[in-house]
Structure 1
C-alpha cells in the first residue's frame, strides 16, 4: 500500500509511466510495474520488447525504459540482443 503511494505520481490514469523517479528504490518499483507486462519463461524479440515499452510510457524514450529494465535486473537479454526474457524472481 505504501509502495503504491510512492509510485502513483509517476503513473498516469492508464498506468503508463510519465517519468522515471530519481530515487532508485522508487524507480525500481515503477519499473517492476512495467516488468509485470512480460510473461515469465517467454522469449521476446527486441521489437516486441520495444513495443511493450513504447506502449507503457508517455515520454517517447523506449530505449531508456528497455535499458533501465535490463540494468535493474528485471529483464535479461542475450549479448547480441537477439532475445529478451523476464528475469526470474524469488
Structure 2
C-alpha cells in the first residue's frame, strides 16, 4: 500500500486532461490541498503580484478565478495589501526555519 493516512489528499484527480480544474472542491480538506497546490505552482515566494497578474494565473485554471483568489487569501496562502493592489504568496507550514514559536 502506497498511501499514508496522514498524507494530504492528491489534487491530480481535480484537473481535466487539459490542465483546467473540473470544479472547486466543497470539502474543506480537498479545497485546502488544491489551494496549497495552486499557491505552490502559480506563485513564487517573495514576489509581489498585482491583482491582474493573480487573476490571469487563476483564469488559466478555472473560470471562477475571483472565488479561487478569495479562498487563497482567506486560507492564508496569499496575503493582500489593505488597498488590494498587491498580493504575495505566504508560507503556511510553521515559521521560517521550522522553529516553533515561543509560548509566553
Q: What range describes the TM-score normalised by the shorter chain of this pair?
A: 0.7 to 0.9
TM norm structure 2: 0.74
Structure 1 or 2: more helix by fraction = 1
SS in 2 for 1:32: helix
Cα RMSD for the two superposed structures: 1.6
Query: After superposition, where does 1:22-41 map in structure 2 within 5 Å?
Result: 22-36=26-40, 37-41=42-46
> 1:24-80 deviations in whole A, cap 9, x for unaligned?
0111101111111100000000000000010122xx111111001111110110011
Q: Which has the higher contact order (CA 8 A, sep 6+)?
A: 1
What residue is the counterpart of 1:21 in the other structure?
25
**TM-score normalised by L of structure 1:** 0.84
Q: Distance in 2 between matches of 1:54 and 1:62?
A: 5
Output the CA distance in 2 between the equivalents of 1:17 and 1:32.
Answer: 14
Aligned pair count?
86
From the CA coordinates, give the structure whose radius of gyration is larger.
2
- Structure 2: unaligned runs, 5 residues or longer: 4-8, 94-104
Superposition pairs of residues 36-55 of structure 1, within 5 angstroms: 36=40, 37-55=42-60
